[in-house]
């Protein structure tokens, strides 16, 4: 038995079929990304043992949770999972403290779980004596996250935990999820159909519901794949993870160095050395053959054309570039492609109009 999370299951419903055979990393957040009805939630329910999918094989590390060939099925309450849904699902008859203790006590109140640390990390120390119906939506969700963490899960299952929240509440919870990611060694499966959440939080991605079956891989590689880019439609674009190299306080810029290049972004408050994630959308990248001299575009880097693919509109192409060690995607018109006589191997300059911070 290797490490990591093994999921093999075949979901069958009238008019619906999903075959998964995945080995996912034992660390970090894996996003299950796909449109509604692509089987994401069914997949999580099977992993949690809430539904028994015939023939499935589910294992985490050396612990087998379901192996129907051997007639093995571990019931949900014996699986160390933390399950988070859109609705926080707090028990209305218990206080926040009672809710937090529910799973903690059943896990044997393990001393290895830093109870005070989790409560502090989620900022719910002042809410302990309240009833769930006296909390805001964001507070409830934070309590639910803490409750799941205190049950000492080996795997976190997050089923669109932000989908029921408005933009302000989302912005309230996202930093906590990001902190979870940085501080906890617990792997998580994160179901979402919001690419910005996925791009911000996830390390690995499983793409469901596309016309070409199931794909998975490290997130930056998945987002740079031409063959999958249409799944993300107008949102297609690469993810770059870089380190703040310097600050320019005169022009209010920060330089972000990444593998094979550097870009300037609006001045960040973080110190030099901090790692940040940015998204560069394909629609924000344009190409020129010569280095432009008089331009307002700040970030221009040399790149090589690798390939091109059709997009959802016949007027446009999606071009994959290699800029040093980093892939880029550019969405340009068919006419430009012909006018610049581009082909795989062409040397170009990529002009990056904007990069979006992901936190």
Partner 1 sequence: MTLAAADFAALWLTLKLACTVTGLLFVLGTPLAWWLARSRSRWTRPVAALVALPLVLPPTVLGFYLLLAFGPHGPVGAATQALGLGLLSFTFSGLVVASILYSMPFVIQPLRHAFEAIGNRPLEVAATLGAGPWDRFFSVALPLARRGFLSAGVLGFAHTVGEFGVVLMIGGNIPQRTRVVSVQIFDHVEALKYGQAHALAGGLLVFSFLVLLAVYTSQPRLRNF
> Which residues sit at the interface with partner 1, rule CB under 8 A?
48-50, 75-79, 81-83, 85, 87, 89, 91-93, 102-103, 106-107, 147-148, 151
Residue 109 or 267: the one with the smaller Cβ distance to partner 1 is 109
Residue with tokens 């299950």: 32
> From the CB of 96, what's the least distance to partner 1, in Å?
14
> From the CB of 144, what's the least distance to partner 1, in Å?
9
Residue 69 or 93: the one with the smaller Cβ distance to partner 1 is 93
CA 358/CA 354 separation, integer angstroms: 13
> From the CB of 161, what's the least distance to partner 1, in Å?
13
In the Cβ-directed half-sphere of 19, how many Cα atoms lie within 13 Å?
Answer: 2
Residue 70 or 78: the one with the smaller Cβ distance to partner 1 is 78
CA 58/CA 49 separation, integer angstroms: 9
> From the CB of 129, what's the least distance to partner 1, in Å?
18
In the Cβ-directed half-sphere of 285, how many Cα atoms lie within 13 Å?
Answer: 32
Residue 70 or 93: the one with the smaller Cβ distance to partner 1 is 93
Residue 90 or 276: the one with the smaller Cβ distance to partner 1 is 90
In which element (H, E) is residue 229 found?
Answer: helix 226-229
> From the CB of 153, what's the least distance to partner 1, in Å?
8
Q: How many other CB atoms sit within 10 Å of the CB of residue 96?
A: 26
Residue 96, phi then psi, degrees to nearest 5? -55, -45
CA 279/CA 90 separation, integer angstroms: 35
């Amino acid at each position: 038995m290797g490490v990591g999370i093994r999921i093999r299951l075949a979901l069958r419903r009238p008019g619906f079929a999903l075959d998964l055979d995945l080995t996912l990393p034992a660390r970090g957040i894996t996003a299950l990304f796909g449109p509604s009805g692509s089987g994401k939630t069914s997949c999580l329910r099977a992993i949690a043992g809430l539904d028994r999918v015939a023939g499935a094989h589910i294992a985490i590390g050396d612990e087998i949770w379901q192996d129907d060939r051997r007639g093995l099925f571990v019931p949900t309450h014996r699986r160390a999972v933390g399950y988070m849904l859109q609705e926080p699902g707090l028990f209305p008859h218990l206080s926040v403290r009672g809710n937090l203790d529910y799973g903690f006590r059943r896990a044997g109140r393990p001393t290895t779980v830093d109870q005070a640390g989790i409560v502090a990390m989620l900022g719910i120390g002042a809410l302990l004596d309240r009833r769930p119906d006296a909390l805001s939506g964001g507070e409830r969700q934070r309590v639910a996250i803490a409750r799941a963490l205190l049950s000492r899960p080996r795997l976190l299952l997050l089923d669109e935990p932000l989908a029921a929240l408005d933009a302000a509440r989302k912005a309230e919870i996202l930093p906590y999820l990001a902190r979870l990611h940085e501080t906890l060694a617990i792997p998580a499966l994160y179901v979402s159909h919001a690419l910005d959440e996925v791009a911000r939080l996830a390390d690995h991605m499983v793409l469901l519901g596309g016309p070409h079956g199931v794909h998975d891989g490290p997130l930056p590689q998945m987002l740079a794949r031409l063959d999958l880019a249409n799944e993300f439609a107008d949102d297609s674009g690469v993810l770059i993870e870089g380190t703040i190299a310097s600050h320019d306080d005169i022009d209010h810029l920060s330089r972000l160095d990444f593998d094979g290049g550097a870009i300037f972004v609006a001045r960040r408050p973080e110190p030099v050395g901090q790692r940040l994630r940015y998204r560069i959308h394909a629609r924000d990248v344009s190409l020129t053959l010569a280095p432009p001299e008089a331009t307002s575009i700040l970030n221009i880097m040399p790149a090589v054309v690798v390939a091109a693919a059709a997009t959802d509109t016949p007027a446009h192409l999606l071009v994959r570039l290699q800029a040093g060690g980093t892939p880029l995607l550019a969405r340009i018109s068919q006419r430009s492609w012909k006018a610049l006589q581009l082909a795989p191997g062409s040397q170009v300059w990529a002009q990056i109009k904007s990069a979006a911070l992901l936190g």
